[in-house]
């Protein structure tokens, strides 16, 4: 628990003038006045994000600045409205109804955003899936959600076991090859995005919903069981809007870039809603990460507000300050980070290199929006996640629910509710209630402490969930995949600390009779997980063991594996089999 030198407020004129003032008399109901539904009573988050700006005379303003190595496009709010209206009509023609789950599995392109908004406009529930997912991950998610329609590309289609998914009625193919015969003309249930969009009207009859109606499902990992479908409702827009104002400090003329993919919650809450609810120009960059590409994106678009992740900042730090000097980043005024601990040295490096503070903030898929943050108008303590958002009460509590005093480590918990809180875990009441097992509190699963000034400091996960490069991986999912491999008898998976990725995935494996450890086998196993589940879920390290530590009931003891790995005491072994 060592404190580092706080970094003073560097510029003036932020949306939030003073943290203390913002907390005084804070009331979420005051935020509602920003929305048209405050007057009309008609709710739809896609309307508030896009159409509202057209109706209030800002239709010509650029909403989306898209580029990837092959495309460069710009869409105004009016064009976004037309395209998403068209897509809503495509869905209506297919018979999609309010509450239906419509999933999106494709790389970041403008079509992804048209689809996402169109889904919301017809009152359906969007399920964006990260493009790197492989078949097993796709099957789990489409099966559990009983998605009725999927937007995907011809290239990704081979990873969708559509014949084994009875609920899935429609596949809308988008991108290169979508018009090729065979994909959609011969098989029932297939259609071409481009063809349908061309035929659809640009005027959609919006489905007005209730604030508590569903709009989005993100699957995320826990330490046991399959991924959980975290269910969010339209009301979340309140939090997206206000955190966009006070944390991202978004203003009328900002050019904003969030580097996250909409397959993860940061890519929806802060890659779609926060900027557009605030009427701000949103930069989307497709393709792969490289320092030159990213700095080029900042320069070319004149990005002013940049929201990224520790692993990216660490990679940029690794690439050195010389690369930075080749680019003009003078427009940048506000930098933010989320997803895993932001090392104090990265904050200090950012200050030296960009001349700006990087503002760490904390939240989760389940919380739907930022709950703890460093604000532009507040001193930044490098290494701390900051202070609770006004109107949000965060605390450190023990396992009985008692609030702990400053400097004591315990469960990071949030007083319920807040506007963007998940409303259920899809079809899993039991998992949902685990988060709320102490009355009045949401238990995050993180451990942390609060200092005397009210700043929160992340200490670790309480469960076995792994955070590798900001991506949350459940050890159980990886273990389940591993034991499908014909050479593997048992597998135990842990997160191992890593200077760039935060944690890497390490697998301990015992082999079946007749199989011998070898480097080839390690490689084969890595590829097996990569191709079966997802690249980011593949173990970077594999260690073969004759036997794995297990409880008498047969559960693999990951904490013992971790202790072995880190040379720590193994703790209580009374439940371990001999
Ligand atoms: C977990 C949530 C919603 C943001 C993207 C990740 C870890 C998140 C921080 C931070 C230290 C952090 C926590 C949390 N985490 N932000 N600023 N400092 N750890 O969302 O995949 O749902 O993961 O990410 O462990 O519980 P997620």
- For tokens 């007083």, the residue is 415
CA of 360 to the centre of ligand 1 (A): 11
Q: Does ligand 1 come within 6 angstroms of the Cβ of 267?
A: no
Q: Does ligand 1 come within 6 angstroms of the Cβ of 472?
A: yes
* Cα dihedral: 510, 513, 517, 522 (round 10): -70
Report how far residue 45's alpha carbon sits from residue 404's, in angstroms, rounded to the nearest whole number: 38
One DSSP character per residue, 191-259 reads EEHHHHHHHS-S------B-TTSEEEEEEE--SSSSPEEEEEEGGGHHHHHHHHHHTS---TT-EEEE-
CA of 363 to the centre of ligand 1 (A): 6
User: How many other β-carbons are positioned within 10 Å of the β-carbon of residue 12?
Assistant: 8
Residue of 340, 360, 457, 465 with the most ligand 1 atoms within 8 Å of its CB, for mutation: 340
What ipTM does this complex have?
0.99
Q: Does ligand 1 come within 6 angstroms of the Cβ of 467?
A: yes
Which amino acid residue places its CA nearest to atom 8 of ligand 1? 339
User: How many other β-carbons are positioned within 10 Å of the β-carbon of residue 531?
Assistant: 15
Residue of 312, 339, 462 with the most ligand 1 atoms within 8 Å of its CB, for mutation: 339
Q: Does ligand 1 come within 6 angstroms of the Cβ of 218?
A: no
Task: Note if the pTM is more than 0.90.
Answer: yes
pLDDT per residue, tens digit, the chain (578 aa), is 445 689 999 889 999 999 999 999 899 999 999 999 999 999 999 999 999 999 999 999 999 999 999 999 999 999 999 999 999 999 999 999 999 999 999 999 999 999 999 999 999 999 999 999 999 999 999 999 999 999 999 999 999 999 999 999 999 999 988 877 666 555 789 999 999 999 999 999 999 999 999 999 999 988 778 899 999 999 999 999 999 999 999 999 999 999 999 999 999 999 999 999 999 999 999 999 999 999 999 999 999 999 999 989 989 998 999 999 999 999 999 999 999 889 898 999 999 999 999 999 999 999 999 999 999 999 999 999 999 999 999 999 999 999 999 999 899 999 999 999 999 999 999 999 999 999 999 999 999 999 999 999 998 888 888 999 988 898 888 998 998 999 998 899 999 999 999 999 999 999 998 999 999 999 999 999 999 999 999 999 999 999 899 877 677 889 899 999 998 887 777 667 66
SS3 183: coil
| CA-to-CA dists, residue 175 to 87, 102, 156, 418, 426, angstroms | 15, 18, 11, 39, 30
Q: Does ligand 1 come within 6 angstroms of the Cβ of 458?
A: yes
The pLDDT assigned to 1 comes to: 41
Q: Does ligand 1 come within 6 angstroms of the Cβ of 89?
A: no
Q: Does ligand 1 come within 6 angstroms of the Cβ of 461?
A: yes
Nearest to 458 by CA among 373, 390, 566, 368: 373
Report how far residue 349's alpha carbon sits from residue 355's, in angstroms, rounded to the nearest whole number: 9
Which amino acid residue places its CA nearest to atom 5 of ligand 1? 339
The pLDDT assigned to 181 comes to: 67
CA of 365 to the centre of ligand 1 (A): 8
Report how far residue 439's alpha carbon sits from residue 504's, in angstroms, rounded to the nearest whole number: 35
Nearest to 421 by CA among 371, 353, 485, 476: 371
Q: Does ligand 1 come within 6 angstroms of the Cβ of 385?
A: yes
Which amino acid residue places its CA nearest to atom 17 of ligand 1? 362
Let me know if 241 is exposed, middle or buried by CB neighbors in 10 A (0-12, 13-18, 19+): buried
> Could you tell me if 473 and 221 are in contact, meaning their C-beta atoms sit under 8 angstroms apart?
yes
Which amino acid residue places its CA nearest to atom 12 of ligand 1? 340
The pLDDT assigned to 182 comes to: 65
The pLDDT assigned to 224 comes to: 78
Angle between helix 519-532 and helix 475-482 axes, rounded to 10 deg: 120
Q: Does ligand 1 come within 6 angstroms of the Cβ of 383?
A: no
Helix (H) or strand (E) holding 360: strand 358-362
Q: Is the peptide bond before 417 cis (omega within 30 degrees of 0)?
A: yes
């Amino acid at each position: 628990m060592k404190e580092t030198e706080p970094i003073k407020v560097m510029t003036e004129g932020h949306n939030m003038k003073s943290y203390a003032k913002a907390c005084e008399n804070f009331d979420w109901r005051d935020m509602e006045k920003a929305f048209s539904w405050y007057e009309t009573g008609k709710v739809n988050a896609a309307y508030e994000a896009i159409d509202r700006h057209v109706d209030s005379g800002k239709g010509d303003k650029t909403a989306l600045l898209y580029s990837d190595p092959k495309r460069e496009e710009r869409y105004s709010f009016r064009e976004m409205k037309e395209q998403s209206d068209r897509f809503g009509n495509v869905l209506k023609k297919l018979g999609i109804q309010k509450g239906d789950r419509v999933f999106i599995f494709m790389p970041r392109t403008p079509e992804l955003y048209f689809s996402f908004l169109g889904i919301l406009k017809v009152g359906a529930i969007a399920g964006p899936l990260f493009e790197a997912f492989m078949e097993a991950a796709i099957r789990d998610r489409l099966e559990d959600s009983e998605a009725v329609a999927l937007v995907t590309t011809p290239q990704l289609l081979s990873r969708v076991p559509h014949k084994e998914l009875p609920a899935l009625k429609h596949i809308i193919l988008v991108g290169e090859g979508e018009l090729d015969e065979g994909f959609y003309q011969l098989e029932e249930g297939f259609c071409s995005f481009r063809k349908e969009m061309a035929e659809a009207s640009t005027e959609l009859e919006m489905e007005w919903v209730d604030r508590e109606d569903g709009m989005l499902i993100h699957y995320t990992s826990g330490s046991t069981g399959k991924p959980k479908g975290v269910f969010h409702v339209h009301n979340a827009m309140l939090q997206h809007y206000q955190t966009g104002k006070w944390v991202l400090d978004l203003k009328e003329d900002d050019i904003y870039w969030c580097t996250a993919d909409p397959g993860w919650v940061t890519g929806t809450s802060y890659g779609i809603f926060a900027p557009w609810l605030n009427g701000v120009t949103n930069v989307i960059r497709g393709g792969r990460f490289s320092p030159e590409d990213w700095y080029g994106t900042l320069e070319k678009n004149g990005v002013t507000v940049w929201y990224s992740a520790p692993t990216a900042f660490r990679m940029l730090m690794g690439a050195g300050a010389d690369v930075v000097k080749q680019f003009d980043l003078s427009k940048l005024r506000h930098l933010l980070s989320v997803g895993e601990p932001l090392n104090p040295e990265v904050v200090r490096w950012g200050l030296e290199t960009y001349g700006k503070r990087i503002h760490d903030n904390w939240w989760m898929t389940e919380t739907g929006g930022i709950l703890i943050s460093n604000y532009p108008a507040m001193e930044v303590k490098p290494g701390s996640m900051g202070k609770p958002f006004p109107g949000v009460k965060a605390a450190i509590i023990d396992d009985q629910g008692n609030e702990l005093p400053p400097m004591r480590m315990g469960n990071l918990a949030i007083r319920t509710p807040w506007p963007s809180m998940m409303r259920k875990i899809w079809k899993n009441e039991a998992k949902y209630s685990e988060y709320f097992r102490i009355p009045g509190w949401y238990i995050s699963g993180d451990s942390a402490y609060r200092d005397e000034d009210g700043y929160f400091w992340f200490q670790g996960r309480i469960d076995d969930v792994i955070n590798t490069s900001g991506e949350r991986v459940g050890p159980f999912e990886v273990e389940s995949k591993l034991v499908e491999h014909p050479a593997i008898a048992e597998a135990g998976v842990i997160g191992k600390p890593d200077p760039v990725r935060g944690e890497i995935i390490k697998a301990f494996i015992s082999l079946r009779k007749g199989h011998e450890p070898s480097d080839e086998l390690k490689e084969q196993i890595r590829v097996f997980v990569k191709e079966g589940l997802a690249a980011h879920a593949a173990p970077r390290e594999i260690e073969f063991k004759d036997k794995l530590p297990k409880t008498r009931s047969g559960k693999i003891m990951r904490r013992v594996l971790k202790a072995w790995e880190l040379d720590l005491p193994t703790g209580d072994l009374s439940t371990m089999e001999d």
